[in-house]
Structure 1
Amino acid sequence: MQLCTRLTAVGLVGLCALSAQADTAGGIDTAAIIANDRTTENWPSYGLNYAETRFSRLDQINADNVGKLGLAWSYDLKSRRGVEATPLVVDGVMYVTASWSVVHAIDAATGEALWTYDPQVPREWAVKGCCDVVNRGVAIHDGKVFVGAFDGYLHAIDAATGERLWKVDTLIDRDKPYTITGAPRVINGRVIIGNGGAEYGVRGYLTAYDVKTGEQAWRWFSVPGNPDEPFEDESMKRAAETWDPAGKWWEEGGGGTMWDSMAYDPDLDLLYVGTGNGTPWNRLQRSPAGGDNLYLASVVALDPDTGEYQWHYQHTPGDSWDYTSTQHIILADLEIDGEKRKVLMQAPKNGFFFVIDRTNGEFISAEPFVQVNWAEGYDEDGRPIEVAGARSRTDPWETIPSPYGAHNWHPMSFNPETGLVYIPAQGVPLVVQNNPGYEYNKPTPGSPNAGLGWNTGYFFANVAPEATPFGTLLAWDPVKQEEAWRAEYVSPWNGGTLSTAGDLVFQGTADGRFIAYNARTGDPLWQTPVGSGVVAAPSTWEHDGEQYVSVAVGWGGVYGITQRATDTVGPGRVFTFRLEGDADMPESMVLRQPGELLQGVSYNPDDVAPGGALYMTNCLLCHGVPAVNNGGNLPNLGYSHPAMIRNIEDIVFTDARKVLGMPNFKGELTERELEQIVAFIQGSADAARAAMAEQDKAAASDN
């Protein structure tokens, strides 16, 4: 401490913080995370605690004084893509990730950089990810910081210096399009991480590694492998009985990737993990005779020391809609029908809020928290009562919720004092249609992103949906299974939530605000602009007796790539607030803003329709619908400069924008096909311009 005092006196604050960090980060282990939950002074794990409640006991900032919040500091993450990380804070040091899995260590009191660790993810790996080059954060244990990099490596970093200690390849096959976007968890000396990639055709699994050496401790697969070969364990043998071998699911991997949610109960010594969708999405193609297709779209309980299967509950048997169950899991003890129950709560993509007995997986209740049209409800056995034709229709059909989900990865929170769960609910309309000609890794024009490796078994139909997009902060009573209050937003894809003992709920929004609500009533109490849409969840922590609230800002994700609700899409930043904070807000840098509609590029009108099918297969989910979507953190091509589109082959058939994650389509598209895509882009811009002119003409005549 005397050394720190002298260093501070001569202005070497960062070095002092680094020295303190070496002492304090080493004290974080399973026992420390459990102990911290009594005070929540630190934020040592992704969901704050092993129950993943994201509820802080700190109340210095509360409903009475939150209006006095001001900026303490902001930090430039030097990021231009999506930022989804929850900042972890341990004894005055913050650890947060930006896009491309870059880790930043920051003095949490001052915002001064301590070190940065770049795992050097190859930019060409971007094409292997469905939903932006994002990362949700790190884990801390025994003086180490762990990050799962986008290209599938797990890195252990010295918390004091930022130097790499070890690196392990988590991928069972580096030729397969696996990624990592989730935050690791550390339990009993093992760092646990899953992978993404089910859209592309991979087999899901979860792996535990020794925190000291990186040596693999165990691995559990979520779907069975080839039935002609020995199964890894009894859980895989049982699962295989629920798949139709005529679909040869093992050739496409089967899916079920575990790319985000985990929780842990130390008393029961059970690890809970959410599993993903199948490959392809469409069960008609994946398992023609039907079947539940275990363990897709489920929550599974495992032994955290061995990875041995304990039990499961499947939210969406035989999932056919990309209804992943990888959404946030929260553990709580609730009084239900006069009995105290140890429960697990989850609001997965399928639109129902679930309460499950976490001791044995017994179904307790499920009710829709948004509009749902694929099922009428759940029976007493916990199986959905499906609407007739929900999975067998071959005509265009608007499934609600859509594959974007009623609740996606954005974390929710649970406040035991109010008894409410705060859910970032949403609706993103989409019309899908069965693709009868589907073949694995063989793109059919019109099938979404199939040219980039997606395997859905569907078309995104060229039919306007009837539903309206929405974003809502929903306060949900899990005992009554009903809404308590809501706050409406102008757009889907709003950030995760934080609740506190100060009767507050914090959330960032798609339209670039950070807001505090009264946790009991939903009344907005404070807000500030942050220059860009927010998708990540905030954290709060205490240092030297003062409470701070931090949020990482950076618009992105599968929706934020193509659309936005702000005039600016600023660089990734961390904003940290405290009472009476008086730092200046940084200027927002405009990264993407539609200008004039594209015009002047010659094309053959007969090429527009085939160009549209090719565009959907190769371009849609990165660049959106030309001149309809407004461009998220990637540009909408309907607003391009004419010279760029006239010379588009210099981009599409080269590595010119490789550093930005743009793939090289040479050999994947022909010059003739690119000509048709250009026709669709310019034709769409022309159609939009004509529609605007008609609207102006009608408005003038009305006046």
Structure 2
Amino acid sequence: MSRLLAFAAAIGLSACTAAAVPEPQTATPLAAQDAPLGAGEDWDNPGGDWAESRFSRLETINRANVSRLGLAWEYDLGTARVQEATPVVIDGVMYTSGNLGRVYALNAATGEELWTFTPELDMQVNRSACCDQANRGVAVSDGKVMVGALDGMLYALNAETGAIEWSVDTVVDHTRGYTSTGAPEVAGDIVVIGNGGSEYDARGYVTAYRIADGRQAWRFYTVPRDPATGPQEHPELDAALETWSEETRWDIGGGGTAWDAITYDPQFDQVIVGTGNGGPYPQAIRSPGGGDNLYLNSLVALDRETGRMNWHFQETPQDNWDLTATQPMTLTTMEIGGEQRPVILHTPKNGFFFVVDRETGFAHAANPIVRTNWASGFDVASQSFTMTMEDSDYSQGPKIVYPASPGARNWYPAAFDPTRNTYFAQVLDMGNLLFLPGPIDNVERQEKFLNAGAAIIFTSDLEAAAETLPPPLRAAVQAEDSWQWVLDQPYSSQLRAMDPLTGETKWAVDGLGWQDRFGVLATQSGLVFHGNSAGTVTARDADTGEVLWSIETGSTIMAAPMTYMVDGVQYVAVQTGWGGGGWGFVPRYAAAYDKGNANRILVFRLDGGQVAIPEDLPPLQPAPEPPAQYADATPEMIAAGSALFTANCSICHSNQPRAPLPDLRRMNRGVHAGFQQIVRGGLFVSRGMPHFADRLSEEDVKAIHAWLISVQGPLRERDLQLQAEGLPLDTQSLTILSNY
């Protein structure tokens, strides 16, 4: 199996059902909800306005003059890793976050640096970060800028100076693989934050802290705990417990982490949380005997003052597939059945477009927007899915499941234009092959490490990869009814304009590839802004999708743009940087492949200038001569080293020439000499390379090293041959990867 496929095999899938509809509450109208949808001169949270619509009412930049946009200023973030945050601008000051939870405060008109903050953390936390060192933004309130660091610390910084006002450890159990990557959410006098880690050994929860001093206000767990350890922490878990089997693997954690998508609803004074997938992915391991497994993959509405649940709606029941509900949501009001209803617009991983009532949790609509075969549809009357487990339950054999674990939608934000009733979002139509890598009755918890329990190969690679599978597995895969879907269309990646209630596409444009993912901004002036992996920032006509303006930046863009106004001048800003899920595999169409991963903030205005394009990376040089192979190395030892590398190293070290982290097939003699000290001794922990002394013995590390030596020699020979032929050396990288 290729290293790309081996990495994919380490990460996985998610689940969905509807709640009983509670009695309607009495609405509590607050000032924020009385404001029109959309941001004005300020952009006061990563989503822009109270509804987090990513929609701006500003119209200075419009269809008539957008072609005049140019660079106003840029700011070097000083890093070369993932950038997923959308800046916040309040009263002429821009606040934003970078990887690990760094924070930057800048003059929003000039880019002048006012202050920066870098959290102190043990880089060993990288071992528990499935999807890079991402951070999706800050929250600003009461003169404080709040950010979650990767290690789970929540900081409140003085907005004027950047000094720490207070900090709190949000992690309840440091023996488990918790991280924090999402933006905190302000809800009145509290700030709410969740954690990641469902792929590891975590049990999900969200916590509310007092903004004034950081004191904990309440905590809500999203899955029950082992009932043998005592009563559940709150009564909602007693009800959830009935949806888990008696044989549940409570020791692994259960999953359900809320790593993004926490939104405050001021109309009903509630915090709406999107929860994550189960851990491990296969329900046959996690909860043998079935059950909906609440509150996995759900929208959960919590009372702001008490943290008690108002309602829940499970978007993917009987989770097997990593189809999380943690994707960004938008709040709005919509006419349904002749009545104006307060609703949530939500497009989670599972391939359906949901319109859910904010007052009751009732799903008014749930329409598929991609191919799905875990469920064939949703019945509004009964509030239930028609599950198709015969097509998607891989506990008894391999299945090709749609959509894939990257999701029809993921963390990259959509935008909703209420004046056009149009939802703009990047949509991925792709599946993956799922199968169990071993027996389900012999699964041990891996402490603070991946506990996915499923092997995955994306359909973008499946036709070619099928030929490398063992014959019985290959035959089973090609016998699947959904195999024809793979042959007809391995994937589709599009920016779409959609009708929320029907899910129908008004217009669509193709992306560069399945890894081309990006957030979106919409404006009242009829514009849609987005970047792409190749480094192009584009403005489109909101009604047609026509390109009205574009500019090349030379930097890969995934984060959503935003817009604001200072002293009568409208600006459009976006952060640049490749990373996130699958971050070690940089596609050839990404600017990061040829030009490196320049992390910048780029800000545009009318009649601005040109963007400085980074220089191309230097040509790849032949792999160094490897040291002599160990005298006692055997084929069995080298094969064991290959398997250990796949299980422990490949999630970060893709061994791709242009990957963010070193290609270990190209180590120099010094790194070879210190290999044990680096892997087990923690020699490079300060540089982000965690130690593996608790997981790998000296013999294990020696086997990995022997395997790397065994592939470096042939790679060097091939490099030298390509060099002699005048060909670039990375032309052979994917072929070599597929032969691992």
Does TM, normalized by the shorter one, top 0.5? Answer: yes
TM range (shorter): 0.7 to 0.9
Give the 3 Å change call, closer, same or farther, for CA 192–591 of structure 1 in structure 2. Answer: farther
What is the letter of the counterpart of residue 532 of structure 1?
Answer: S
Alignment of 1:213-292 (within 5 A): 213-228=213-228, 229-249=230-250, 251-292=251-292
Q: Which residue of 1 aligns with 2:684?
A: 657
SS of match in other structure, 2:255: coil
Q: Which residue of 2 aligns with 1:479?
A: 501
SS of match in other structure, 1:285: helix
Residue 623 of structure 1 is aligned with which of 632, 653, 667?
653
Residue 453 of structure 1 is aligned with which of 432, 449, 452?
449
Deviation string for 1:322-367 (max 9, x for gaps)?
1110001111222334443322111111111112122111122222
Q: Within 2, Cα distance between the matches of 1:265 and 1:336?
A: 19
Query: Conserved in 1, the CA contact under 8 Å of 2:136 and 2:183?
Result: yes
Give the 3 Å change call, closer, same or farther, for CA 442–515 of structure 1 in structure 2. Answer: same
Give the 3 Å change call, closer, same or farther, for CA 454–263 of structure 1 in structure 2. Answer: same
Pairwise CA distance, 1:655: 2.5
Q: Which residue of 1 aligns with 2:536?
A: 513
Query: Conserved in 2, the CA contact under 8 Å of 1:334 and 1:479?
Result: no
Give the 3 Å change call, closer, same or farther, for CA 400–660 of structure 1 in structure 2. Answer: farther
What is the letter of the counterpart of residue 677 of structure 1?
Answer: I
SS of match in other structure, 1:247: coil
Query: Conserved in 1, the CA contact under 8 Å of 2:276 and 2:298?
Result: yes
Deviation string for 1:536-590 (max 9, x for gaps)?
11110011111100001111112223323221223311000000012x5234266
Query: Conserved in 1, the CA contact under 8 Å of 2:282 and 2:395?
Result: no
Indicate whether 1:106 and 2:102 are aligned. Answer: no
Deviation string for 1:522-546 (max 9, x for gaps)?
1122122222211211110011111
Give the 3 Å change call, closer, same or farther, for CA 421–37 of structure 1 in structure 2. Answer: closer
Q: Which residue of 2 aligns with 1:23?
A: none
SS of match in other structure, 1:134: coil
SS of match in other structure, 1:570: coil
What is the letter of the counterpart of residue 451 of structure 2?
Answer: N
Query: Conserved in 2, the CA contact under 8 Å of 1:451 and 1:618?
Result: no
Q: Within 1, Cα distance between the matches of 2:287 and 2:181?
A: 28
Alignment of 1:41-440 (within 5 A): 41-228=41-228, 229-249=230-250, 251-380=251-380, 381-387=382-388, 388-426=390-428, 430-437=432-439
Q: Within 2, Cα distance between the matches of 1:598 and 1:399?
A: 42
Give the 3 Å change call, closer, same or farther, for CA 692–510 of structure 1 in structure 2. Answer: farther
Pairwise CA distance, 1:494: 1.8
Pairwise CA distance, 1:222: 0.6
Pairwise CA distance, 1:265: 2.5
Pairwise CA distance, 1:114: 0.2
Give the 3 Å change call, closer, same or farther, for CA 400–190 of structure 1 in structure 2. Answer: same
Query: Conserved in 1, the CA contact under 8 Å of 2:249 and 2:285?
Result: no
Q: Within 2, Cα distance between the matches of 1:157 and 1:525?
A: 40
Pairwise CA distance, 1:199: 1.4
Query: Conserved in 1, the CA contact under 8 Å of 2:622 and 2:720?
Result: no
Query: Conserved in 1, the CA contact under 8 Å of 2:622 and 2:719?
Result: no
Alignment of 1:634-653 (within 5 A): 634-638=661-665, 644=671, 648-653=675-680
SS of match in other structure, 1:326: coil
Query: Conserved in 1, the CA contact under 8 Å of 2:202 and 2:252?
Result: yes
Query: Conserved in 2, the CA contact under 8 Å of 1:571 and 1:591?
Result: no
Q: Percent identity?
A: 40
What is the letter of the counterpart of residue 103 of structure 2?
Answer: V
Pairwise CA distance, 1:106: 0.2
What is the letter of the counterpart of residue 267 of structure 1?
Answer: Q
Q: Within 1, Cα distance between the matches of 2:678 and 2:617?
A: 19
Q: Within 1, Cα distance between the matches of 2:653 and 2:695?
A: 18
Q: Within 2, Cα distance between the matches of 1:121 and 1:675?
A: 29
Deviation string for 1:617-658 (max 9, x for gaps)?
11122123x4xx554422444565587567644532333322
Q: Within 2, Cα distance between the matches of 1:276 and 1:120?
A: 27
Deviation string for 1:247-277 (max 9, x for gaps)?
232x222111111102232222222110001
Deviation string for 1:290-323 (max 9, x for gaps)?
0000000001111111111011111111211111
Deviation string for 1:44-77 (max 9, x for gaps)?
1121122111100011111221111000000011
Q: Within 1, Cα distance between the matches of 2:42 and 2:685?
A: 39
Gaps of 5+ in 2: 1-29, 464-485, 726-740
SS of match in other structure, 2:529: strand
Give the 3 Å change call, closer, same or farther, for CA 609–376 of structure 1 in structure 2. Answer: farther
Q: Within 1, Cα distance between the matches of 2:458 and 2:323?
A: 22
Query: Conserved in 2, the CA contact under 8 Å of 1:95 and 1:138?
Result: yes
Pairwise CA distance, 1:679: 5.7
SS of match in other structure, 1:474: strand
Q: Which has the higher contact order (CA 8 A, sep 6+)?
A: 2
Q: Within 1, Cα distance between the matches of 2:426 and 2:716?
A: 32
Query: Conserved in 1, the CA contact under 8 Å of 2:37 and 2:418?
Result: no
Q: Within 1, Cα distance between the matches of 2:216 and 2:617?
A: 42
Query: Conserved in 2, the CA contact under 8 Å of 1:34 and 1:50?
Result: no
SS of match in other structure, 2:651: helix
Q: Which residue of 2 aligns with 1:576?
A: 603
Q: Which residue of 2 aligns with 1:611?
A: 641
Q: Within 2, Cα distance between the matches of 1:234 and 1:306?
A: 13
Pairwise CA distance, 1:677: 3.3
SS of match in other structure, 2:278: coil
Residue 531 of structure 1 is aligned with which of 530, 554, 577?
554
Q: Within 1, Cα distance between the matches of 2:39 and 2:151?
A: 37
Q: Within 1, Cα distance between the matches of 2:350 and 2:314?
A: 12
Q: Within 1, Cα distance between the matches of 2:456 and 2:53?
A: 36
What is the letter of the counterpart of residue 383 of structure 1?
Answer: S
Indicate whether 1:669 and 2:696 are aligned. Answer: yes
Give the 3 Å change call, closer, same or farther, for CA 158–600 of structure 1 in structure 2. Answer: closer
Pairwise CA distance, 1:465: 1.4
SS of match in other structure, 1:398: strand
Q: Greater shift after overlay, 510-519 or 611-620?
A: 611-620
Which TM-score applies when normalising by structure 2?
Answer: 0.82
What is the letter of the counterpart of residue 283 of structure 1?
Answer: Q
SS of match in other structure, 2:172: coil
SS of match in other structure, 1:405: coil
Query: Conserved in 2, the CA contact under 8 Å of 1:53 and 1:330?
Result: yes
Q: Within 1, Cα distance between the matches of 2:677 and 2:616?
A: 25
Q: Within 1, Cα distance between the matches of 2:44 and 2:53?
A: 13
Which TM-score applies when normalising by structure 1?
Answer: 0.87
SS of match in other structure, 1:465: helix
Pairwise CA distance, 1:100: 1.6
Indicate whether 1:465 and 2:462 are aligned. Answer: yes
Query: Conserved in 2, the CA contact under 8 Å of 1:95 and 1:103?
Result: yes
Q: Which residue of 1 aligns with 2:18?
A: none
Give the 3 Å change call, closer, same or farther, for CA 302–398 of structure 1 in structure 2. Answer: same
Pairwise CA distance, 1:592: 9.4
Q: Greater shift after overlay, 145-154 or 489-498?
A: 489-498
Pairwise CA distance, 1:496: 0.9
Give the 3 Å change call, closer, same or farther, for CA 441–641 of structure 1 in structure 2. Answer: farther
Deviation string for 1:103-132 (max 9, x for gaps)?
000001000100011221222222121111
Q: Within 1, Cα distance between the matches of 2:402 and 2:715?
A: 29
Alignment of 1:559-570 (within 5 A): 559-564=582-587, 565-566=590-591, 567-570=594-597
Pairwise CA distance, 1:520: 1.1
Indicate whether 1:586 and 2:612 are aligned. Answer: yes
Question: Aligned Cα RMSD in Å?
Answer: 3.0
